[in-house]
Amino acid sequence: MLVSAPEALFKYLPPSRIDVIQNLLIRFTQASSLNDTLELRPPTKGVAKREVLEEIARNGLTPALWTKTNEQSKKILDQRCPGLSELVGEIYLQAAVQKCTEAIEQRHERNPSAVFDVTDHNFGILSLTEIPYDVPMWAHYADGGRGYLIEFNPGHSWFHGKRDERDSFRHLRQVVYVSLRPQKYLLDTTEMDFLYTKWSVWEAEKEWRIIRCFNDAVKKCENLDSYGNEILLFAIPPDSIRSVVLGISAGDEFEAKLRTVLSNNPELRHVSLKRAVQAIDTGNISIVSGDSCLETTNAGRP
């Protein structure tokens, strides 16, 4: 069941990634470069039930076997005993089905890895969150609060680009968190199991994600990331951004740089500046307006 997106979604970023708002380019990241080592790796117990594998093998092998059977041999067999050619063909087919099924089962340990590798090489994930006031996320993803947040409008068309109802990519999906993930057969694993389910230890992040094919990236960086993966960037539509939120520990120099970026880009004139503040008595974070300062910076605009 699809859930409607919240009113706003956020991306935590460290100060070193001011280029995201400056260049309006953002990375969609390979699962193998994310901090969850089990990302896109649902537990599986086999490819499918044996009878399912046998049926798949039989359906795939029957035409090939009949095509390769020598017509003269069929005639000789049927002359000696009517229907014998079909019996012999069925014996050969059963043997081929058995061999094919066993080969598939023996390769099972490699199959999940192969699926992961194909996805990892061709698709990237943009992870967003519902909550802009989470202390651990400010600490982990925004350099201890020295960075910033980008607030996105989830209703923007950039987040709703699926090509048909069967499309698992190019549109926002809410991540589901589970405390137990029973093993499934690989052929019974759904897109939700594979792409949009995580263990409950990550539940506090309240993640929404959008997955895109790397063919749609507009830039490939020269350097690889620390995992040896390519860094592929996608263009952010300026009107998908609502606000930028300064971190609770953002320094004056970074604040000045961020304001300059917003001031110098006419396409971001609608973006409001906000600030995260932390209460001394409770440690809770709230988001307050910083528009008055931004308006001063933008006063010279026509």
- Domain-by-domain residue ranges, the chain? 9-43+124-297, 48-107
| Confidence (pLDDT) at 235 | 98
Measured distance CA(223)–CA(232) in Å, rounded: 10
* pTM for this entry: 0.78
Q: Which two tokens stand for residue 300?
A: 């010279």
What residues contact 249, with CB distance under 8 A and at least 6 apart? 144, 145, 146
| Confidence (pLDDT) at 300 | 31
Q: How far is CA 254 from CA 16, 113, 133, 215, 257, in A?
A: 9, 42, 20, 33, 5
| Mean pLDDT, 10 residues at a time, the chain of 302 residues | 82 97 98 93 75 63 50 51 48 57 58 80 96 96 97 96 86 95 81 93 97 96 96 98 96 95 95 94 90 37 30
Measured distance CA(196)–CA(54) in Å, rounded: 30
| Confidence (pLDDT) at 302 | 31
C-alpha of 195 from chain center: 6
Long-range Cβ contacts of 16-21 (<8 Å, 24+ apart): 16/143, 16/147, 17/147, 18/148, 18/254, 18/257, 18/258, 18/261, 20/150, 20/236, 21/148, 21/150, 21/241, 21/244, 21/258, 21/261, 21/262, 21/268
Measured distance CA(126)–CA(138) in Å, rounded: 17
Measured distance CA(117)–CA(128) in Å, rounded: 23
| Confidence (pLDDT) at 99 | 63
Environment class of residue 75 by beta-carbon count within 10 Å: exposed (0-12), middle (13-18) or buried (19+)?
exposed
